[in-house]
Amino acid sequence: MNLPRFETLIERHHDEIYRYLWQMLRDTHLDAQDFTQETFMRAYQAYGRLRPDSNCRAWLYKIATNCAYTALRRSRREVSLDDDLPADGLPPPEEAVVHNLVLEDIRQFIDTLPLKQRAAVIMRHIDGFEYNEIAQTLDCSEEAARAHVSLAVRKLRKELDGQRR
């Protein structure tokens, strides 16, 4: 299997890498577009060393994750998640209000997660990654990737249950 041209990788993955970085860096002074460019610059520099059988998407996410981690450590600021994707249809107004309140609670909770759990949850539940791709991206075992997602979801459930009481 041959690697695609680098330009093809940019065309296929630019928007999702940007969205991922925007979610990781939201509410900071950091610009997701700058870090998207940084991700692709680093990828271009390392592209010649990439094995032909590599998962290019996971490889790009790993570079993006490393860029985000480095930037967040430097900035020493908390980040949050915002799923700003448009809805397919409009729910009734009272349902929309409740939905938005629940989403805001979830966003605020995700802000408090450790970085690896935050990244794993974003990759799994927003970007649709498989656990093996999360593991490659976060440089951990597939079991650890499952644990990061599972711990985050358990914490979320506990937090939401506590708010209902």
Residue 104 sits in a domain of what CATH number?
1.20.140.160
- The residue segments making up the domain with residue 150 are 6-164
Predicted TM-score (pTM) of the model is 0.61
Q: Does residue 35 form part of some domain?
A: yes
Count of structural domains, the chain: 1
How do the pLDDT tens digits run along the chain, 165 residues long?
688 899 999 999 999 999 999 888 876 777 888 999 999 999 999 998 988 888 999 999 999 998 888 887 776 533 334 444 344 455 555 555 555 666 666 777 777 888 889 889 888 887 888 999 999 889 999 999 999 999 988 888 887 777 656
Whole-angstrom distance, CA of residue 115 vs CA of residue 72:
9
Could you tell me if 124 and 45 are in contact, meaning their C-beta atoms sit under 8 angstroms apart?
no
- Which pLDDT belongs to residue 79? 36
Q: Does residue 1 form part of some domain?
A: no
